[in-house]
Amino acid sequence: MQPFSETFIVRTNYVDIHKELHLYTLVNMLQDYAARHADKLSLGWEQMSKQEWFWVLIRLRLDILRHPVWKEEITVQTWPKGADTLVSYRDFIFTDQQGDSLIKATTSWIVLDRQNRRPQRMEKVLSDNPPILRKHAIQEPAPKIKLPKDKTLLSMQQVFFTDLDMNLHMNNANYVRKILDAYPLDFLKSHHPKQLILNFLRETFHGDTLNIYLHNEINDAVHYVSIVNGQGQSSLSAQIVWEDKEYIWE
């Protein structure tokens, strides 16, 4: 099996204030390329819906070696690399025109039953011949995040209609958008992310109130962030490594 591959241009609506590929856009792209490759492998939305199943991202780690910039031509590759009892693993690599790696990512997925929201066994989902490419962008699966106990409320936000996807819960990338929207602008003007790890813990739905907490000091290089719904249930844990970045208008 060959990886799914596509080349794209970093367009105006893909970039942030630093003219770099937006972290929110990047997570959206991972989701989209995974879905399109799943279609080609007969494991996409239409095929899974026949069984009343759908894919859910539960963990993600992405490492940014160099930020793609506005107007740059980028190639992305993605492939499934194996599964265990309940989890399937998929990796990604983004490269520039010279073939140098820019971004590496690894993701962990489960399949839920649409009615009871229970995970399905991968041997049942993938049958006897699961598509696998024995290749790693990042060898170890995305880790479980251990949050420090202390926390400070950054923001309270709601789940709106525009946050929802086809499964009627908040889209994966919108968790990233809400986290970024919780930060002070001055911090985002002077930093950009180098690594992102996400643990998706619980679905959130239209009308939910989300409390976004920072579990350390904003001047620290590594941030731990949690999203807790209005019932006090943890929906997401995040670990973000930040790097100094000068904002330049030119």
86-119 pLDDT per residue, tens: 999 999 999 999 999 999 999 999 999 988 999 9
What is the arrangement of strands in the sheet containing 152-158, beginning at the earlier edge strand?
Answer: 4-9, 73-83, 88-95, 101-113, 53-64, 191-200, 234-244, 222-229, 209-214, 152-158
Which of the four pLDDT bands, split at 50, 70 and 90, describes residue 133?
Answer: confident
**Model confidence band, residue 128 (pLDDT cutoffs 50, 70, 90):** low
| Residue 236 CB neighbours (<10 A) | 24
Please give the DSSP secondary-structure letter assigned to residue 96. Answer: -
CA dist., res. 84 & res. 59, Å (int): 14
Question: The CATH number of the domain where 236 resides is what?
Answer: 3.10.129.10
Runs of H (alpha helix) within 15-127? 23-40, 45-49, 122-125
pLDDT (mean) for 18-23: 98
Domain that holds residue 24: 1-142
Q: What percent of the chain has pLDDT over 70?
A: 99
Task: Give the integer Cα–Cα distance in Å for 143 and 124.
Answer: 25
The domain boundary residue, chosen from 142, 165, 181: 142
Q: What's the domain count of the chain? A: 2
The per-residue pLDDT of the chain, averaged, comes to: 95
Position 129 scores a pLDDT of 66
User: Same structural domain for residues 133 and 149?
Assistant: no
Question: Model confidence at 121, in pLDDT bands (50, 70, 90)?
Answer: very high
Q: What are the Cα distances from residue 242, in Å, to 2, 196, 250?
A: 34, 9, 23
**Is it the case that residue 83 has pLDDT exceeding 70?**
yes
Q: 151 and 243, same structural domain? A: yes
